[in-house]
Amino acid sequence: MNGVALATLLSHWRRHPLQLFTLITGLALATGLWTAVQAINAEARASYAEAEAQLAAGRQALLVARDGTIPVDQYVTLRRAGWRVSPVLEGEVEYNGAAVTLLGIDPLTSPLARHLAPTDGEAGLDPLAARRTLFAGPATAERIRSAGTGLQVVVRDAVAPGTAIADIGLAETLLDRPGTLSHLVVLSAQPRGRPPLDAVAPGLTRIEASGAHDARRLTRSFHLNLTALGLLSFAVGLFIVQGTVGLAFEQRRGMFRTLRAIGLPARRLLAIALAELLALALLGGALGIALGYAIAAALVPDVAATLRGLYGAAVDIGLALRPGWIAAGLGMALLGTLLAAAQGLWRLRRLPVLATARAEAATRSNATTLRFQALAGLASLGLAGSVIAGLDGLVAGFVFVAGLLLGAALLLPPALAGMLALGARLARGPVAQWAWADTREQLPGLSLALMALLLALAANIGVGTMVSSFKQTFTGWLDQRLVSELYVTAETDAQGQAIHDWLEPRVDAVLPIRHADTRIDGRPAAIYGIVDHETYRRHWPLLASAPRVWDRVATAEGALINEQFARRAGLAPGDALPLAPGWRLPVVGVYSDYGNPDRQVIVALDALLERFPGVANRQFGVRVAPDRVETLAAGLRDRFGLPARSVIDQAAVKAHSLAIFDKTFLVTGALNVLTLGVAGFAILTSLLTLWTMRLPRLAPLWALGLTRPRLAAMELLRSVALAGLTFLLALPLGLSLAWALLAIINVEAFGWRLPMFLFPGDWLTLGALALLAAALAAALPAWRLYRTPPAELLEVFADER
């Protein structure tokens, strides 16, 4: 019985392959977009796990020398004095043209050593003892092996990408730096009563654990953005599924009744329909996962570049099919299908065997649905409003966005119905009146697709506005901030001084860039010291300032802080800022500092040097006439043997920063376009699936004397008009979304607020695209109508029952 019944249910799809295609495609698109985002997130996260080893090192305090290298004797002295430190020699080696960071460590004391311990497969072998062994992550290991060094390379997933770890003796040889160390790791357990650092090793500076956590927090918010977008695309895809499943149930109502009348129990029918759905969901879900994998593979390089560039987190993303996100994708497909089919299944459960006109009418009651949608929509908007008015935080921001989108989607059909009713009242002539009324009657069948379009358009406007605003601000900010024509980085302080002295007579100004890494209120912060120069006075972008701000900074009577610091610590000009024990300055200004996760302070250089005498003096901004930049750069490289990356001209920095920026949002943009495509597809499928119900409506008009071309044109116009109205509603929604992203979510996630810029030109393009999508979607059904032979139209009357 089950087999026959299932075969009967499935026979519907054989007769309506287009519906089947739509359903599977809808599911596949929804699952695909979702899976792509999951895959990207999962891979990025996996990469962080790999980078943990490196981050772990960053969490320990370090001892460094002012000139960059520590003589081995100094290490020995420290050990003898009771300091528990582990030596590290760090440098770069080239393998096959790519630089690999080589970390030479002491296997007995280094905190990294535990990641390198022999595994079961190599029991008994202690590769470090072999002294010819490098440890690296899979990709890096491959690179080193292919360079044919003759070294043994052992793969350890824990080693950060682009890094190799070796015994310090081997590192000395490979780097050709015998007898020197880069830094010392201060181990966590230190004996009591050991002499102070100054007494044992006066040349060394202690650097406290760095803010690796901030980078991770930032990447997490990047994931959050992506996940939100993925969910949005999934929702848009679900609208398609909901539409087609609903229609498949609606169209098979007669079949269900016949099966019931013949003797199929209601529960059995429900179970079989459920089994059918789940099978389709698995099929669509599997295709979706494949699609998602393809999308992710295409986007992953940009994601990697984004993360690396913007947050400095080392990620080396290779895409692998992970059981985790495959399961998540299939789970979402099943869940989504059930969600989309819930209404159909519910109706099926309650389907009376006997069709009565009254029962039919009750299920189709349109006005009740519209009223319910309007109420639920308003409730959703109300919730969103009260959440944002009453609560702070990232979660509140996302609840607001979700409530806003859901509310607007629910309000769309009632709003459109209202507009169409108004149109009908204003219309002159019977055909126009019929067209308005008929469009209104069509609304329930199309509303899901239109909701999908609304969300896709709003997401497009919202994210587009955010990206463009970001770019506008960022570009302007770069122009202000990167004023110096040339940026030079020396290798040691001594060289820095030499470069400074050499440059001084040759250029307009040499502006040292010196900073101390410290903690303020227990949080990592950087204090920069600047010399008084019109470069800062004229260009530095200040968001808020006290009177005579630059004079007060120059005379060490005040400090500038970046926006992140101001927002997180709740500081404003006039507030006192404790910079170090016994050192307080009033805040005199706040400057914007996009892309920087850390707290930053600017004070007069002299004041900084007084408190932190040892800060490195290796970086300079150079003011010089633009036409002299190139010769000067070449001169610097020749004279001091500086590598190319140590002498950077401003234009290159800007280009690089903008490129990183563009990558950041490329992923967002790609997902956005895909979502819009999916929404267009939703309209097409709704129109196509409504087609069978369309003919009986149009046939009487045709019989009354409207030509087929005229009817076809009206169908096209209807679709375009609905898309146009939807776009008008999407505009305020998208702008609200943009506002939420810029003013709430960005501030919570990144700590800075972006001004919102409007780009009406983009809206026009998007509106045109939406109309085009709607016209394209309606073109196929309209063409079919245009070509429908009169005999088929006549059948409508023959079939009248």
Partner 1 sequence: MPLLEIEHLAKAYVTGEERQPVLEDVDLVLDAGETLALTGESGSGKSTLLHLVGALDGFDAGEIRLAGTPLSGLDEAGRARLRLASIGLVFQQFNLVPSLTVAQNLALQARMAGRADPDWLAELGQRLGLSRFADRYPQQLSGGQQQRVAIGRALAARPPLLLADEPTGNLDETTSDRVLELMLELVDDTGAALFLVTHSRQLAGRLDRHLHLSRGRIA
Ligand X SMILES: Nc1ncnc2c1ncn2[C@@H]1O[C@H](COP(=O)(O)OP(=O)(O)OP(=O)(O)O)[C@@H](O)[C@H]1O
Quick one: 359 or 421, whose CB is closer to ligand X? 359
| 3-class SS of residue 716 | helix
Q: How far is the CB of 256 from partner 1 (least distance, A)?
A: 10
Please identify the residue of the shown chain whose CB is closest to the bound ligand X.
Answer: 356
Quick one: 261 or 634, whose CB is closer to partner 1? 261
Q: How far is the CB of 11 from partner 1 (least distance, A)?
A: 4
Q: Name the strands in the sheet holding 62-65, side by side, starting at the edge strand that comes first in the sequence.
A: 152-155, 133-136, 163-167, 98-105, 85-95, 183-186, 62-65, 204-207
* Binder of partner 1 out of 96, 146, 190, 258 (CB under 8 A): 258
791 binds partner 1 (CB under 8 A): no
Within 570-649, where are the H helices?
Answer: 605-611, 629-640
260 binds partner 1 (CB under 8 A): yes
- Restricting to residues 553-582, name those near partner 1 by CB under 8 A: none
Quick one: 14 or 425, whose CB is closer to partner 1? 14
Beta carbons within 8 Å of 558's beta carbon, 6+ residues apart: 546, 549, 552, 585, 586, 587, 588, 589
* Binder of partner 1 out of 113, 139, 147, 266 (CB under 8 A): 266
Quick one: 356 or 705, whose CB is closer to ligand X? 356
| 3-class SS of residue 33 | helix
Stretch that binds partner 1, among 219-227, 265-273, 469-477, 508-516 (CB under 8 A): 265-273
- How many chain residues are in contact with partner 1, going by CB under 8 A? 28
CB 341, CB 252: distance < 8 Å: no
Q: How far is the CB of 262 from partner 1 (least distance, A)?
A: 5
- Reference 349, options 281, 273, 263; nearest CA is 273
The position carrying tokens 């920095």 is 653
User: What amino acid occupies position 565?
Assistant: F
* Binder of partner 1 out of 80, 358, 428, 645 (CB under 8 A): 358
Residues present in the chain in total: 801
Q: How far is the CB of 21 from partner 1 (least distance, A)?
A: 16
Q: How far is the CB of 363 from ligand X (least distance, A)?
A: 14
Binding mask 7-46 for partner 1 (x = CB under 8 A): -x--xx-xxx------------------------------
718 binds partner 1 (CB under 8 A): no
How many CA within 13 A on the CB side of residue 744? Answer: 23
**In 59-203, beta strands by DSSP E:** 62-65, 70-71, 85-95, 98-105, 133-136, 152-155, 163-167, 180-181, 183-186
CB 110, CB 53: distance < 8 Å: no
Stretch that binds partner 1, among 105-113, 266-274, 457-465, 622-630 (CB under 8 A): 266-274
* Binder of partner 1 out of 189, 354, 367, 389 (CB under 8 A): 354
342 contact choice in partner 1, ligand X, none (CB below 5 to 8 Å, kind-dependent)? none
Q: How far is the CB of 23 from partner 1 (least distance, A)?
A: 15
User: What amino acid occupies position 177?
Assistant: R
User: What amino acid occupies position 4?
Assistant: V
Q: How far is the CB of 425 from partner 1 (least distance, A)?
A: 32
**Pairing verdict, β 599-604 and 523-530:** parallel
| 3-class SS of residue 177 | coil
* Cα radius of gyration (the chain): 33
- For 542, the token pair is 């200040």
Q: How far is the CB of 256 from ligand X (least distance, A)?
A: 18
359 binds partner 1 (CB under 8 A): no
Quick one: 97 or 356, whose CB is closer to ligand X? 356
- Reference 526, options 63, 220, 208; nearest CA is 208
Stretch that binds partner 1, among 173-181, 209-217, 261-269, 468-476 (CB under 8 A): 261-269
- For 257, the token pair is 């009744």
- Reference 512, options 481, 541, 495, 489; nearest CA is 489
**In 332-435, beta strands by DSSP E:** none
Beta carbons within 8 Å of 589's beta carbon, 6+ residues apart: 542, 544, 545, 546, 549, 553, 558, 560, 561, 573
- Restricting to residues 35-94, name those near ligand X by CB under 6 A: none
CA distance between the termini of the chain: 30
1 binds partner 1 (CB under 8 A): yes
Q: How far is the CB of 244 from partner 1 (least distance, A)?
A: 16
- For 151, the token pair is 């070294």
**Pairing verdict, β 133-136 and 163-167:** antiparallel
- Angstrom distance (rounded) from CA 6 to CA 558: 79
257 binds partner 1 (CB under 8 A): yes
173 contact choice in partner 1, ligand X, none (CB below 5 to 8 Å, kind-dependent)? none
* Binder of ligand X out of 192, 196, 198, 356 (CB under 6 A): 356
Q: How far is the CB of 799 from ligand X (least distance, A)?
A: 20
258 contact choice in partner 1, ligand X, none (CB below 5 to 8 Å, kind-dependent)? partner 1
Q: Provide φ and ψ at 581, rounded to 5°.
A: -55, 125
Q: How far is the CB of 353 from ligand X (least distance, A)?
A: 11
361 binds ligand X (CB under 6 A): no
- Reference 689, options 6, 233, 24, 23; nearest CA is 23
Quick one: 123 or 361, whose CB is closer to ligand X? 361
693 binds partner 1 (CB under 8 A): no
Q: How far is the CB of 350 from partner 1 (least distance, A)?
A: 12
263 contact choice in ligand X, partner 1, none (CB below 5 to 8 Å, kind-dependent)? partner 1
Quick one: 15 or 192, whose CB is closer to partner 1? 15
CB 591, CB 560: distance < 8 Å: yes
Please state the separation of Cα 667 from the chain's center in Å: 7
4 contact choice in partner 1, ligand X, none (CB below 5 to 8 Å, kind-dependent)? partner 1
- For 544, the token pair is 């808020």
Quick one: 192 or 358, whose CB is closer to ligand X? 358
DSSP 664-706: HHHHHHHHHHHHHHHHHHHHHHHHHHHHHHHHHHHHHHHHHT-
The position carrying tokens 């695309």 is 233
Q: Buried (b) or exposed (e) across 66-95, using 16+ Cβ within 10 A?
A: bebbbeeebbeebbeeebbbbbbbbbebeb
Beta carbons within 8 Å of 750's beta carbon, 6+ residues apart: 218, 221, 564, 597
799 binds ligand X (CB under 6 A): no
Give a three-class secondary structure readout of 309-356. HHHCCCCCCCCCCCHHHHHHHHHHHHHHHHHHHHHHHHHHHCCCCCCC
Quick one: 353 or 673, whose CB is closer to ligand X? 353
- For 188, the token pair is 């966590």
- How many chain residues are in contact with ligand X, going by CB under 6 A? 2
Q: How far is the CB of 783 from partner 1 (least distance, A)?
A: 23
262 contact choice in partner 1, ligand X, none (CB below 5 to 8 Å, kind-dependent)? partner 1
Stretch that binds partner 1, among 3-11, 98-106, 577-585, 699-707 (CB under 8 A): 3-11
Quick one: 14 or 358, whose CB is closer to ligand X? 358
Q: How far is the CB of 351 from ligand X (least distance, A)?
A: 14
Stretch that binds partner 1, among 4-12, 116-124, 379-387, 527-535 (CB under 8 A): 4-12
8 contact choice in ligand X, partner 1, none (CB below 5 to 8 Å, kind-dependent)? partner 1
Q: How far is the CB of 351 from partner 1 (least distance, A)?
A: 12
* Binder of partner 1 out of 90, 263, 317, 496 (CB under 8 A): 263
627 binds ligand X (CB under 6 A): no
789 binds partner 1 (CB under 8 A): no
What are the residues binding ligand X (CB under 6 A)? Answer: 356, 358
- Footprint on this chain of partner 1 (rule: CB under 8 A): 1, 4-5, 8, 11-12, 14-16, 254-255, 257-268, 353-354, 358, 799, 801
